[in-house]
């Protein structure tokens, strides 16, 4: 499994902003399979391509935020 960090482009929950995340593949796997405290699954991330992020950034730079580091480890 790859442990090197990569820049990923993710839409916010409402879809208005693009978030630049610096994370590794294992962190994303934990995030996608995670459950909230109430037992329900988390909403999946909506990924965006680099070209689409650049296109949105050219139209309105305020809609792109980040980069943020996201590192998560499993409970086990």
pLDDT in tens, 20-29: 988 888 777 7
What gap in Å lies between CA 10 and CA 74, rounded to an integer? 22
Higher pLDDT, 35 or 24: 24
Residue for token pair 């442990």: 3
What gap in Å lies between CA 75 and CA 19, rounded to an integer? 26
The pTM for the full model equals: 0.73
């Amino acid at each position: 499994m790859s442990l090197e960090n990569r820049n990923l482009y993710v839409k916010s929950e409402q879809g208005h902003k693009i978030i630049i995340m610096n994370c590794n593949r294992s962190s994303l796997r934990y995030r996608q399979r995670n459950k909230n405290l109430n037992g329900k699954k988390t909403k999946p991330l909506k990924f965006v391509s680099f070209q689409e992020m650049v296109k949105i950034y050219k139209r309105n730079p305020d809609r792109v935020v980040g980069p943020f580091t996201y590192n998560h480890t499993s409970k086990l």
